[in-house]
Structures are given as C-alpha cells and as structure tokens.
C-alpha cells in the first residue's frame, strides 16, 4: 500500500507498507522523498514512487507483490497503472481506496465499489491504507522537524550541536 504526504507540495514524501496474510511486514516498509514533482500533484507523485519502486524490483529481478493498493481515488489508481504498464507489469492488480466514502476503485473501471462498513475485506484495505498513511505522515513530520531545527549556525565551522544549543539558550535566537 502506498500513500503520499505533503503540505502544498513541500516536504513531499511517500510511503510503502507491506502485509502478508494480514500481518504487517515492517522490514519491507519503504519511505521515499519525492524528487521529480514540483507543487502539490498527488497522482504525479504516486506515479514517481510506483516507477521507482517497481523499476528497482525489476532491475534486481525480485518478486512482485500480489496486489498494489494506493491511497486515493481514480486519479492515483490510473497514475499507478500507467507506470506499471510502462514497466511492462501488466498482470499486477492495482486498487485505490478513497477516504471520503471508503470507495474502492478497481483498474479500468471508473465506477467505485462500495462495501458495507462492517465488511472484513474493507477492514483489511482500510488497515493497510491507514498504516501507509501513518508511516508517510511520520516521515513527513520527521523531515519538517529536522528542517525547523536547522539554523544559520549549522554552516559555521567549529559550532556543533552542543555549542549551537548553548548559544541559542544564551541569546534566544540566531539574530
């Protein structure tokens, strides 16, 4: 399952989580910084991540998953499918799960599937989507926090973390 996280295109990241037989496989989770998309374009970001992930699996001749789930609706689904087709991965099923009404979009069909709220199948998809969302948000928050902690003092030779902290405590700010 893949998810995108950004604030108006800044600190744009994606996550991929993996599950086998309903059990999270955290050693297979991956994080991605978005490298090629400017601004807030979730389908383009999803395409980039799908291209990078599955291009790498192909080049390393590694096993593909049984299914791909993208967080989002028809636009994210079509972006993922296009990239997989370009990589000549035509037999890997892709589905999109849109948050608003928990609509499930299947390939090459613009009509969403709506499962009952208590459906075990829907619960599995929601759990995967929510875990991808949590993992992406955590990475996004980490990058933002790291950037906030950076200052002009970081570029001065001889000033390390301890000296920086002492200076900021003494003077209150870089100014």
Higher pLDDT, residue 83 or 107 = 83
Mean pLDDT of the chain: 90
What pLDDT does residue 78 have?
95
| 41-57 per-position pLDDT tens digit | 999 999 999 999 999 99
| 113-144 per-position pLDDT tens digit | 999 999 999 999 999 999 999 999 999 888 87
What pLDDT does residue 149 have?
65
| 7-20 per-position pLDDT tens digit | 877 889 999 999 99
Is 129 exposed, middle or buried, given 0-12, 13-18 or 19+ CB atoms closer than 10 A? buried
Does the pLDDT of residue 150 top 80, yes or no? Answer: no
Is residue 31 a contact partner of residue 13, using CB atoms and an 8 Å limit? yes
Higher pLDDT, residue 169 or 40 = 40
| 59-94 per-position pLDDT tens digit | 999 999 999 999 999 999 999 999 999 999 999 999
Is residue 70 a contact partner of residue 94, using CB atoms and an 8 Å limit? yes
Residue 41, SS3 per DSSP: coil
What pLDDT does residue 11 have?
85
> Which residue spans within the chain are E strands per DSSP?
2-7, 10-16, 19-20, 23-24, 30-33, 68-71, 94-98, 103-106
What pLDDT does residue 80 have?
97
Does the pLDDT of residue 162 top 80, yes or no? Answer: yes
Higher pLDDT, residue 2 or 169 = 2
Does the pLDDT of residue 152 top 80, yes or no? Answer: no
CA 129 to the chain's CA centroid: 10
Cα angle: 129, vertex 130, 131; to 5 degrees: 90
pTM: 0.81
What pLDDT does residue 137 have?
92
């Amino acid at each position: 399952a893949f998810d995108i996280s950004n604030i108006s295109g800044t600190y744009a990241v994606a996550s991929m989580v993996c599950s086998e037989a309903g059990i999270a496989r955290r050693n297979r989770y991956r994080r991605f910084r978005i490298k090629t998309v400017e601004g807030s374009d979730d389908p383009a970001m999803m395409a980039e991540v799908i291209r990078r992930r599955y291009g790498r699996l192909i080049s390393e001749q590694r096993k593909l998953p049984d299914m791909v789930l993208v967080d989002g609706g028809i636009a994210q689904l079509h972006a993922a499918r296009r990239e997989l087709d370009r990589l000549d991965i035509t037999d890997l099923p892709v589905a999109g799960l849109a948050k608003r009404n928990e609509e499930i979009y299947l390939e090459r069909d613009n009509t969403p599937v709506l499962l009952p709220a208590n459906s075990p199948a829907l619960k599995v998809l929601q759990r995967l989507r929510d875990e991808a969302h949590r993992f992406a948000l955590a990475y996004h928050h980490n990058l933002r926090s790291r950037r906030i902690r950076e200052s002009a003092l970081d570029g001065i030779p001889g000033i390390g973390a301890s000296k920086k902290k002492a200076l900021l405590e003494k003077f209150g700010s870089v100014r």
